[in-house]
Amino acid sequence: MKKKLKLALNVLLVVVIFGVIFYVVRTSMESVFQQLAQTNLAIIFLVVWAGLLFQLIEGANIQTMIQRSVKKFSIYDGFWCSCYTAFMRVITFGAGTIVAEVLYYRDKGLASSKGFGLVSLRMIFYKAALIIFSIVGLIFFGPQLLQESPSLFAGVIAGIVVTFLIIAGLLALSLSITLQTLFAMLANKMFKSDKWRDRIDELNLKVFSIREMVLHLLQDRSILIKLILLNLGKLFFWFIVPWLVFQGETASLGFFECFFYTAFASILAGIIPTPAGLGSLEFVFTLLFRPLVGQVAAISALLLYRFATYVLPFLLGLGFAAYRKRRSLKQEVQEIKEEDSESK
């Protein structure tokens, strides 16, 4: 009876997930699919390939980080991890993203504590690559951005500083046990509610998990360089998407200008509050590109950028999650049949 109840609950869960997927598609993806229907097939093909190459490089990035702890972990395991995490991010509205990724690593043989460290380390390298592209962009296009919009220029500077401080803080805490202990003591004195104490405990767990991986990376500089290059490479294929879209539009914009403005939009999205119900990336992307290419072309590029970075990984993760769930449901049905036949 317990197995039958478990099967019934799993089927109910699948129904609920499909309901959430229908809601998400109708509310946040419908405009993307409408834009796809109006876009040249050649542009769609290039955008899809850019999105896939990002996920493949991300797979190599994860595999490089995890290979010391889990030997049998391929690039394709990392690819599907990235896609599955993207799917879970959408259907849990961001709440279950980290848990889903940690559980995926645990299924592959990595302890949950190290899984949290890997999630944090992946975020650190992503943000480090974003800082690098943003600084290079400011060197070449900073004066232009300052002339067009001093507030956005200041925002990019602030985004770089805030992102750098987040990375530096996590690394400093993870490399210094004394600093981590001091942080825990101060946090316990400052925060008395259970909610904030749980958050501090979670942060300490992540920091402690990062330490071993960071120390290993510092000992092997070749892996450190490889991870930086992989993260720069994966972002490259996301940041070229708007330029690919503009090739099919009447808008004309140089490759490097378009590329680095996309980097500016990404780093700004991390510090600008969401206005009027719009996503922060959508807001700053339109704000940056509208003076350069016009409203129509900017929105077209934004929607296809969302397809490559948000919808495509979600769809791939949906297929992967459906395959895993179908296999587990078949196994549960088979176990129930075997028990029923034995009881008879």
Structure tokens at 49: 């390939």
Average pLDDT, the chain: 85
Share of residues in the chain with pLDDT > 70 (%):
91
- In the block, tokens 């004394």 appear at 178
User: What is the phi/psi pair of residue 29, to 5°?
Assistant: -120, -10
The position carrying tokens 């999205």 is: 269
Residues 178-199 pLDDT 10s: 776 777 777 777 777 777 777 7
pLDDT of residue 340: 65
pLDDT tier for residue 275 given thresholds of 50, 70 and 90: very low
pLDDT of residue 47: 96
Say whether pLDDT at 59 is over 80.
yes
For the chain, percent of residues with pLDDT exceeding 90: 47
Own/partner long-range contacts of 279-288 (Cβ < 8 Å, ≥24 apart): 282/306, 284/152, 284/155, 287/149, 287/152, 288/152, 288/261, 288/264
| CA nearest neighbour of 70 among 104, 98, 96 | 104
Over residues 1-52, the pLDDT tens digits come to 577 777 677 778 778 888 888 888 787 788 999 999 999 999 999 999 999 9
Rg (CA), the chain: 22
Rounded to whole angstroms, the Cα distance separating 127 from 163 reads 7
> What pLDDT digit, counting tens, does each position of 307-328 carry?
999 999 999 999 999 898 888 7
Query: Residue 211: its pLDDT value, please?
Result: 74
Judged by DSSP in three states, 247 sits in: helix
* pLDDT at residue 144 in the model: 93
Site of tokens 């179908």: 326
DSSP states of 154-188: HHHHHHHHHHHHHHHHHHHHHH-HHHHHHHHHHHH
Q: Which token pair is 89?
A: 């991010």
pLDDT at 277 over 80: no
- Whether 329 and 11 have beta carbons less than 8 Å apart is answered as yes
pLDDT of residue 250: 59
For residue 62, give every residue at least 6 positions away whose Cβ sits within 8 Å of its Cβ, in sequence order, or none.
73, 77, 78, 81, 82, 118, 122
Q: How confident is the model at residue 225 (pLDDT cuts 50, 70, 90)?
A: very high
203: which 2 tokens?
């942060």
For 328, the token pair is 């587990």
d(CA 32, CA 44) in angstroms, rounded, equals 12
Give the number of other Cβ atoms within 10 Å of residue 115's Cβ. Answer: 22
For residue range 81-101, what is the model confidence (pLDDT) as tens digits? 999 999 999 888 888 888 899
Q: From 251, 270, 262, select the one nearest 164 (Cα to Cα).
A: 270
Query: Residues 162-182: pLDDT tens digits?
Result: 999 988 887 877 777 777 677
Alpha-carbon torsion (151, 242, 128, 283), positive or negative: positive
